Structure 1
């Protein structure tokens, strides 16, 4: 006889299932439909997905009812089908799996991280309707997932507790900030959930394994009070040619499942981007696992180092800063207009450095970094446009401040994600008015996977189209075809990801960007000298300069995160082994050393160097910039500060 779910969790770690929505998407069902309606339209497909996860080893099976409330279904005109969809969801899951599986009713947030104008009484009424149908259909418990606010999650939990004593799993969607979106610390939020009757608390969505590991480390002291559950995404999604893909492999999920278990997780499954293969790998890794005291393989500080957007304190600079006294950008040529970046890179080695805009209102450290890089004589400072769909300060505003206060050339990223055609042209006209003429056109990471998942991705333009339209401004012609009275003078770059299985196909895509008008190319970071040589051989026929991307690693945890969860980045086995479990000063030193070795190779083939600063640790990219000048023979004196 099957144990009660609460008792089962006291004795075992249970494997949860994986994604439903993104898995259906991979099977060919488009975005923009109600995946829950497929319970009625394609019951055989939904049952087959449940069956695949069960056969992979999942014993916590979620009903396909995540968005099956009246409010969410009304978007598709399905508000009258709440009962039918929820009832079918339970029946399909129950009939598709064995008697040893626990079928839990999946309930998702109605507000979804937005401050939607939905009355609390209406939200409560909609949740109660769904809960009653799921209860009547015979679920073994409830899984409340992807909630952003404690207030809404408590509302659902208390509604269930008025109707049932079945086990309830409560999960927040978090990006590792340590608080819910309504500002409650995670330990306090978990304590309130426990007081209100939660049986399991945890996290899902928003982050891959690395992010959820950091979140779990923040609350691991509570694991004796309540079991934890984790359902991470398969890394950060990539959006290429209108399709979402995920980078994290089943093997990586197997490795991190053991770390989750060490930290006290009793239910471990997968969210967006995961497949039966991910679940099978975790189930195999957890076979015979015996829970023991939490002992993370990397401490919390190393995990924070690996996290995108978490800034480290700047190191004190002790090495001399090299002063360039010959060529463009010299110490004595202030006020002399330099050639644009395309003309400059044809003459000599040229360094572009990326520095991320802050996620808060404090720009002091950012401006300190810009000044330090100016003193290191970088040729341009580039700023991303809310990379990874994480909200940051406007790169247009910071670009202007950098230009005015340091004299550095700003190079601004322009993402297709955030602005429609009206906003994009207006943005470009503003850049022109400010005298900022170097830009990089990128697609932009999907908004729903960033820190404001309730926001929309626009994508009025593709990366090819935005390049073409910006170059049209150089002809004095607006996007609408009207005359602009003056011509702009934008130098437009395009992004290139060489970390792919078929490099020739990536080069063909790059050729299309050049045909659209791209003046120069900036690559994703490369961590393999053999790949640098292959890039050269594959692109030497192109007539535009290429800036090879090199990003120094900050720690072993940082290396592991980038390799497994960030699209477009792959580290060689040799680099990952060298980084190992290094952290702190040792990790940064090894990261700089590896980057120097990559520069030794890159500078043989390319004049363009694109350095990316990790976690605002600009001292690392200052050292690497100085190294480029040393190797290229552009330095004759030094100063220290």
Structure 2
């Protein structure tokens, strides 16, 4: 199959075009180990890279992609090569051009910078990197650019926005989906394709992640824009373990058959992605030889632009959330830690006493201080089903990967537990199992955002769900820092991510309560100010000197030094009451933290808050 080397867009109007296959797969087959920069080989072993290009050309590929998928500053910095962006990209074009022998197109490959990771930066920060790589490729003389393997439509649109003004050359844009028919950030392919064309993409398609069958199904259910040029570069099936090694299953023969099916969908540029080899490409080229492209016929019916969901778990009107309650009066959340052993009865007894005393919700930590405790999910379900007590569960980023986090949240939804507090979580090495791994797939900002995505009826992977979740998501705030402005900026990002309310670390002087009020009164969501009674002088010194996020006032430390035993607890309660006198004037949300599961201390403070709130006659003073 040959080309006349006319403009790629013009050529595809009347011709099919076979693209190449996987660069990394072939380099690995030739002995390059995993864990090195494949792109840097353009400089250190150019002959090997040229050999791969040539093998695809000889197999029948007439569009060769440069070996630059990850040749951006962010990816190269992992190897200390961020200063080689321009050199690598320019050399990569030279190598592909040499192998193209004058009658194959050379497309400059630009991959997603997120590359499958969860978004942890503002996407605008990638603008300079896309521009830097695109300029290097364009100056080296490519026939067009291929923007590939973008899981998020929003990142791909940003890349087009940056690159389109730089060149009139063809832009091939390819999304990668984790689920058939929808991007990771929740867009249907119909909507995504339309936005890509409007943004300036010349050729629109899919690559990576899915094999031929699922790529085909994706095109069968999408309404492609009128007269759009389409591309498809599927993986060689799903990655799996074969004879003790990871491998892709799809054979070359199967790929040849699949190319014919993709042609029937009106796709004109067909190649391969992960796991594909020159053998796969040859099978496609042979199958498509001498065939003309087919016109695209969109399906009569396609899924809706947004997930079709049925909301069946709306919170009962007679069971308002803490966010609803705090709008009309003082609302009290009480933290009561799950047990460190297998006895749940004492814990549940304490929950009942706190509930009777007037706690609006009881919050359960998620293995606080990285110390193993009974599952807060199991205990929350028991509290709710047996006693009608509203649980509020902490959700740490530390212990579960993204698979576990979504599974856990789906379980909470099934149990009707919808109030959660997202926290980072203390590192495992400081807990009672220091050899355990800390996962931290995402930050607290990311997890808040992703929980809100479940509320929209979209899974973490972008798959539409049959129901909306109904989570009310809280975020933690530590006011006990030297630079309160920096802490507030971090808090504002959590609010921007979708937090519905805030719970603070405990404060131990009245002035700090006022500072927190002034610093947070602009954020627009309820703030629950943290108060934790002290139990002894040693407890006070430990909290002040060893526990992150807690800082006691000199007065509190001195007062606790003067007393011991039961008198120390009474003094701790008295200090807490004095703090609450100030807190109820400035905050309608009170967060009481029960020390050492001494729930009698918390019940006394709940009753005190109720009394003081009822007696409070003056409005909050700013």
TM band (smaller chain): 0.3 to 0.5
Q: What is the TM-score normalised by the length of structure 1?
A: 0.46
Q: Which structure has the larger Rg over C-alpha atoms? A: 2
Structure with higher RCO (Cα < 8 A, 6+ apart): 1
Q: What is the TM-score normalised by the length of structure 2?
A: 0.48
